[in-house]
Chains A and B, each alone.
Chain A
């Protein structure tokens, strides 16, 4: 028995079919970040106060550079998904909600790319 009326299909309202993707990507990035955040935090203990060349050599070593790129991508993807839900929950004015989400998405992509480019510049010796 179908409870959905034909008008629902015609208007195309309802689920945009990407809710599960949002939920799943938030979990995947979360799981990836558990070891990455612990590794990065405890690495910073010895590198935060170290000399410039030592820090650069650490960031630029192949394994660290790759892990940092993955960490940055996961952090900003996860932040983007989380902030989107927070904005959707608390910003009730529609135009302001949409504008906030668009600005937030631009900002997180910009910051992620800036961080990744910085790591690659160091790793590739530019």
Chain B
């Protein structure tokens, strides 16, 4: 029996890319990225507890060009995962399974995630640093 040699589903390489499958794997990727990125939250809190010098160092790291770039990507991943997570919770509750609704909720998630990301950064640039 060569059971281990058998190809396993779902044969992703023979599927035409679809919004549904792309958003599904993006949920996973953003989840893993957020798990790693949450190191920054811990770092920021530990620096705030450690003292003014450590906090100033953390602020310069996170507020620098690369820090801001990573934080922007983190915000995007966060709001995507949050919005798509709500979509998943709706499915868990048994709603929104017919195909047109799945596509509509998919587009709604992408728009909501983009709007929230841009809104947070716009407000941060306008009112932050006070």
Count of A-B residue pairs with CB < 8 Å:
89
Contact stretch, chosen from A4-12, A79-87, A95-103: A79-87
Complex CA distance for A96 and B124, rounded to whole angstroms: 42
B48 partner residues in chain A, CB cutoff 8 A: 52, 55-56, 59, 118, 122
Does chain A have a CB within 8 A of B63? yes
In which size bucket is the chain A interface?
Answer: 35 or more
Q: How far is the CB of A106 from chain B (nearest CB, A)?
A: 14
Interface residue tally for chain B (C-beta within 8 Å): 34
B85 partner residues in chain A, CB cutoff 8 A: 30, 34
Q: Please list the 3 inter-chain residue pairs (A to B) with the smallest Cβ-Cβ separation, ordered nearest first.
A: A49-B129, A118-B49, A118-B45
Give 17 CB contacts A-B under 8 Å: A41-B120, A45-B123, A46-B130, A49-B124, A49-B129, A50-B129, A50-B130, A52-B55, A55-B48, A56-B48, A59-B48, A82-B31, A108-B35, A111-B38, A115-B46, A118-B48, A122-B49
